[in-house]
Amino acid sequence: MSKTILITGGAGFIGSHVVRLFVNKYPDYKIVNLDKLTYAGNLENLRDIENKDNYIFEKGDIVDEGYVNDLFAKYNFDGVIHLAAESHVDRSITNPMEFIMTNVVGTVNLLNVAKDAWKGNEDGKLFYHVSTDEVYGSLGDTGLFLETTSYDPQSPYSSSKASSDHFVRAYGNTYGIPFVISNCSNNYGPSQFPEKLLPLFINNIRNGKALPVYGDGKFTRDWLYVVDHAIAIDKIYHEGRNGETYNIGGFNEWTNIDLIKLLCKQMDIALGNEARTAEKLITYVKDRPGHDKRYAIDANKLKNELGWEPSLQFEEGLMKTIAWYLANEKWMDSINSGDYQKYYEQQYS
């Protein structure tokens, strides 16, 4: 059946993989990508599908009420997959207001417009809110985040995402907007902005620059290949139950330092360098304020209910990721200049 779906943040890292999957898999759908093109949005990420008949790009801000209203009137959306956000924890520590504006106000704005546009006609509509495991806070050495784990966000970023999750549930409960929420662990893969750990370190290794490891490097994250996240979003969008939350994770925990050592090893091989060349670049730097110790996701609800599982083993995913960045040095070089340099100096000097 044909549908018109609004994907917000589709020019960003995860959003571009979701847009690509939906455009290619559902030729009968119309996919409208709404993105403000902040520093993190990059239309280069979508060159391969930008001329497809079922794809439309709209540049705009989810915070702008009049603009979002007009967009809903223009397209009469059946569904929204909402990924647009400020997404980097370190930036949320230096500039929390931008996170509150986009992640909280922007999400509530979309909800308001969807509520009015769908009023009395909610059947078949869906507001899918893409969120993060960081809303659950930080774990000790054991335990996993479940969908029922209480929210306990610790950074301005995770607090803004937690707040937006609460608003989505509140609008479902109060106004009957059909919704689903998913909370995913750390994504990695092609076209991630090099402010996040893996692309930043790949970029620094290829340029012979120091690898800034925060604190003692013993912080733990669960890692998922971005295409597997996009596949999970597709499944949940089409088969998830109204009003439910689904955790998405890779069943794949690593301490930062072990992950970085594996990356260094694979980078030496990919660049044809002597073993342990990249490892010499590891430099311990001052810790991130309020740094969450450990995230770990129990994604068994999604596995048992909808049959989703990660398709890639981590070593294989990491090799594919490295190969992509090395084959797309132009993409990285175009980011490396200007504002990125300023950000880098402020963050790491």
CA triplet 8, 13, 19: central angle to 5 degrees? 50
| Residues 211, 18: Cα–Cα separation, whole Å | 30
What is the closest distance, in whole angstroms, from the C-beta atom of residue 4 to ligand NAD in the complex?
Answer: 18
Q: Find out whether 57 and 31 touch, Cβ atoms under 8 Å.
A: no
Catalytic annotation present for 157: yes
Q: How many CB atoms lie within 10 A of CB 161?
A: 29
Pick the stretch among 95-103, 172-180, 212-220, 268-276 that binds ligand DAU (CB under 6 A): 212-220
| Residues 8, 102: Cα–Cα separation, whole Å | 11
What is the closest distance, in whole angstroms, from the C-beta atom of residue 107 to ligand DAU in the complex?
Answer: 14
Q: Which residue among 46, 62, 84, 200 contacts ligand DAU (CB under 6 A)?
A: 200
The catalytic position among 61, 90, 134, 147 is 134
According to DSSP, residue 149 is labeled S
Shortest CA distance to 5 belongs to which of 136, 167, 124?
124
Pick the stretch among 86-94, 117-125, 240-248, 275-283 that binds ligand DAU (CB under 6 A): 86-94
Residue 40 as a binder of ligand NAD (CB under 6 A): the answer is yes
Task: Write the CB contacts of 25 (distance below 8 Å, at least 6 apart in sequence).
Answer: 234
| Residues 172, 122: Cα–Cα separation, whole Å | 11
Q: Find out whether 60 and 68 touch, Cβ atoms under 8 Å.
A: yes
165 binds, among ligand NAD, ligand DAU, none (CB under 5 to 8 A by kind): none
Q: Which residue among 132, 158, 204, 321 contacts ligand NAD (CB under 6 A)?
A: 132
Nearer to ligand DAU, 133 or 228 (CB): 133
What is the closest distance, in whole angstroms, from the C-beta atom of residue 274 to ligand NAD in the complex?
Answer: 32
Residue 344 as a binder of ligand DAU (CB under 6 A): the answer is no
Catalytic annotation present for 134: yes
Residue 105 as a binder of ligand NAD (CB under 6 A): the answer is no
213 binds, among ligand DAU, ligand NAD, none (CB under 5 to 8 A by kind): ligand DAU
- Buried-state track 221-240, b at ≥16 Cβ within 10 A, e below 16: bbbbbbbbbbbbbbbbbeeb
Shortest CA distance to 341 belongs to which of 39, 86, 85, 89?
39
What is the closest distance, in whole angstroms, from the C-beta atom of residue 224 to ligand DAU in the complex?
Answer: 9
Q: Find out whether 35 and 11 touch, Cβ atoms under 8 Å.
A: yes
Q: Which residue among 63, 89, 100, 281 contacts ligand DAU (CB under 6 A)?
A: 89
Q: Find out whether 51 and 95 touch, Cβ atoms under 8 Å.
A: no
Residue 16 as a binder of ligand DAU (CB under 6 A): the answer is no
Nearer to ligand DAU, 114 or 260 (CB): 260
What is the closest distance, in whole angstroms, from the C-beta atom of residue 123 to ligand NAD in the complex?
Answer: 27
β-partners of residue 46 are none
Residue 259 as a binder of ligand NAD (CB under 6 A): the answer is no
Shortest CA distance to 313 belongs to which of 229, 232, 249, 252?
252
What is the closest distance, in whole angstroms, from the C-beta atom of residue 132 to ligand NAD in the complex?
Answer: 4
Residue 219 as a binder of ligand DAU (CB under 6 A): the answer is yes
Catalytic annotation present for 39: no
What is the closest distance, in whole angstroms, from the C-beta atom of residue 195 to ligand NAD in the complex?
Answer: 9
- Buried-state track 93-124, b at ≥16 Cβ within 10 A, e below 16: beebeebbbbbbbbbbbbbbbbbebbeeebee
36 binds, among ligand NAD, ligand DAU, none (CB under 5 to 8 A by kind): ligand NAD
Binders of ligand DAU: how many residues, by CB under 6 A? 19
| Residues 191, 194: Cα–Cα separation, whole Å | 9
Residue nearest to ligand NAD (CB): 12
List residues with catalytic annotation. 133-134, 157
| Binding stretches for ligand DAU (CB under 6 A) | 87-89, 132-134, 185-186, 196-197, 200, 212-214, 219, 221, 256, 288, 295
